[in-house]
Amino acid sequence: MRSYLSNYCEQLIPFTYVSFDIFDTLMFRTVSDFRMIHQMVANLYEEQYGISLPLYPKQRMDAELKARNVLGRNEVNMDMIFEYLSDYSEEEKSRLRFLEEKCEIDNCVGNPLMIEVWKWCRDNGKKIVIITDMYLPRRVLNTILAKIGVDYDYLYISGEEGVTKRTSELFAVVLRKLNIKPTQLIHIGDDLNNDINMPQIKGIASLLRLSNEANVLPYIKIKQCDISLGKDHLFSMLSRYCSNREFLNSEQRIGYAILGPLIVDFCQWLHAIRKENNLHKLFFVAREGFFIKKVYEKMYPQEAHDLMYIRLNKNVLRLPLLSMHNACEYFMKAKVGRLTYDWKLIFDLLYISDYESAKHFVVLRTGFDRFHETVTLKDLESGKYNKILVSLFEYQREMIEEQSALLDEYLMSLGLFEGSVGLVNNSINGNGQSMLTDYLLSKGKECDILGLQFIKTSKCEKLLKGKCRAWLTESSVSEFSKTRFHSNCLLLEHLMFEPNGTSIRLYRHENKIEVLCEASRTEQKDWGKIANIQKYALEFVSDYTNHVGISLDMAGFHGYFNMLCHPLYDDAVLLGHLNDDDMDGDKTISNIRFPFRFKYLFSKDIPFDITWHEGYFTLKNVSWWGISLYLYSAKLQFYKQMVKSHIKRIIFSK
């Protein structure tokens, strides 16, 4: 036991009886204001019974005030409070009361320091007394205490006794019923009046409870006037988590306070869209779908059998697409993004390992032998090399047919054709979904796929003909925020990756279709860090789900966005140095080998290899104001471009 905790407990040695307050002493609510519980009740009532009760939180408080004003009563209980909810039927009141009691139980977390004090008391033979000013019934308080692992010898509740700690009279009741002297009892609580001054009036010693203060910026910022229940709930949970730990490292902070809330926020939207569209299954696309699926099935375990992880990307689709009539067109769609290509890269994209044999095959059929030359994207798109490409497709015909057959079997085994399905991915333009749909249609296979992603472009909407939904695109988040999120999607992807390289092709293993993954290079160094971040993020998911998982209402996004724009230095060190395996060479997210130039703060000539600009600036010790200048400059450029694009659309529409 830590020395200060030992010193604290030594003060309890002279006393036979040790009494504890409950709320904000032995445990905390996961909301910053107890009245938020009433808003939760209204939300849950609408969710369960389909009836909106916008006035309920105020009506609930009004009923309590009326009950407290009853002549001759100093304290109230739940029966009295709900008696004054005159606008509701007995059935409605019963439902509301059940939900309130459930919310109180679900939204409590133990205070580890005070639970240690309670354990010391038990180990040292002290009699445990619980004294609380509370309207909740004994059975609810017993459930809460059992949940945090605390038992007791005596429990005194103001709602049962009709008097309160606030007037000191509840302490008098305790002394009388226990038949003890005041000097035999010490009381511990959080309220200076109710728990410290009032017991002393009755001659009872008192101590303020122990509690760590939050010691880390959680990136979630709430204005005093902000009444968003989701933000309040999230902020309070993060504060409780931080205050219960002496030191919060970057992996814990990013996982619990950033990644966890962000993906919970996304998955709550995802769940609503699934219900709205009656989707039979959800397919989470590798590699970022690995973590999203983990979060979703933790939040909605009843849907676990309808959740599939699918390894599907350009590499896996490329050869099957070449079995279609317009093979050259689909080769261009499934290529990698480059302005120039050498023939070795083109061979590699077609999984041709014997370069010389392939070259000889092409020479015999086309006469083309200039394989030492570089090929431009413009020439490829113009069809200049289609004849050579067709020859290479013919060279790989056997492998193309094999991969096509394996893909058909792979998709069938996962149940892709069993009703409407959602394809969850981090796509922006919808190319993968479009290629998959075209391929299936060419095979005469019925499919009903709805893309479910973070953000989408107008190109995506047009390409998929409305068969996609996007969380941020449909939200009220500013267009600039969406753009910053988009530009840093590589960082988010790395936080969600599975410990495998990118998918390459399909193969059969013991009569089952498997996906061969590339052996990771530099990314492998980060797997331990990513695993820890994901572990702490899943801790948040468990905590949030177990404490009435109401909608975060974009609070998770705003926390992530704040971290993107103004990261703590330690967090920038961890995230900025994450490795990215790339066909153009391996790099880090915020490549600091480039010397800082002041012009970068005006969004000018920033090297392409610096993916996360704000992380780079932080690592280069640019001040908060310097980064704010960069963001202001970036925002100006963004809106100037929006105006130009709008003017062009007006001109060309005429």
Give pLDDT tens digits for 58-73.
Answer: 999 999 999 888 755 5
3-state secondary structure of 182: helix
pLDDT in tens, 450-501: 999 999 998 899 999 889 999 999 999 999 999 999 999 999 999 999 988 8
3-state secondary structure of 144: helix
Q: What is the pLDDT, as a whole number, of residue 584?
A: 64
> pTM here?
0.87
Bridge partner residues of 282 (DSSP): 307, 422
Q: What is the pLDDT, as a whole number, of residue 224?
A: 47
Q: What is the pLDDT, as a whole number, of residue 215?
A: 58
User: Of 34, 29, 32, 51, nearest to 42 (Cα)?
Assistant: 51
Band (pLDDT 50/70/90 cuts) for residue 272 is very high
pLDDT greater than 60 at residue 1: no
Residue whose entry in the numeric block shows the structure tokens 């009892």: 185
For residue 614, what are the contacts with CB-CB under 8 A and spacing of at least 6?
564, 565, 566, 567, 572, 627, 630, 631
Q: How far apart are alpha carbons 161 and 155 in whole angstroms?
A: 11
List the domain boundaries for the chain: 1-208, 266-507
Q: How many CB atoms lie within 10 A of CB 161?
A: 18
Quickly list DSSP for 210-234.
P-PPP-S--S----TT---HHHHHH
Q: How far apart are alpha carbons 441 and 457 in whole angstroms?
A: 24
Looking at residue 36, its amino acid is M
3-7, 204-208, 394-398, range with the lowest pLDDT: 3-7
Q: What is the pLDDT, as a whole number, of residue 521?
A: 83
pLDDT in tens, 400-409: 999 999 999 9
62-71, 167-176, 223-232, range with the lowest pLDDT: 223-232
Enumerate the H helices of 488-620 as residue ranges. 489-496, 527-546, 555-565, 569-576, 613-619
Q: What is the pLDDT, as a whole number, of residue 377?
A: 92
Q: What is the pLDDT, as a whole number, of residue 223?
A: 53
pLDDT greater than 50 at residue 225: no
Which tokens go with 180?
């003890």
Packing angle between helix 260-277 and helix 555-565, nearest 10 degrees? 140
pLDDT in tens, 625-647: 999 999 999 999 988 888 887 78
pLDDT greater than 50 at residue 527: yes
Mean pLDDT of the chain: 91
44-48, 199-203, 257-261, range with the lowest pLDDT: 44-48
pLDDT in tens, 531-553: 999 999 999 999 898 887 788 88
End-to-end CA distance of the chain: 78
What DSSP state is assigned to residue 23? Answer: B
- Domain 1-208, CATH: 3.40.50.1000
Band (pLDDT 50/70/90 cuts) for residue 222 is low
Band (pLDDT 50/70/90 cuts) for residue 246 is low
Is 441 in contact with 325 (CB distance < 8 Å)? no
For residue 440, what are the contacts with CB-CB under 8 A and spacing of at least 6?
411, 447
pLDDT greater than 80 at residue 169: yes
Q: How far apart are alpha carbons 218 and 256 in whole angstroms?
A: 9
Packing angle between helix 397-414 and helix 314-321, nearest 10 degrees? 120
Q: What is the pLDDT, as a whole number, of residue 2?
A: 65
User: Of 612, 607, 608, nearest to 597 (Cα)?
Assistant: 607
Q: How far apart are alpha carbons 298 and 300 in whole angstroms?
A: 6
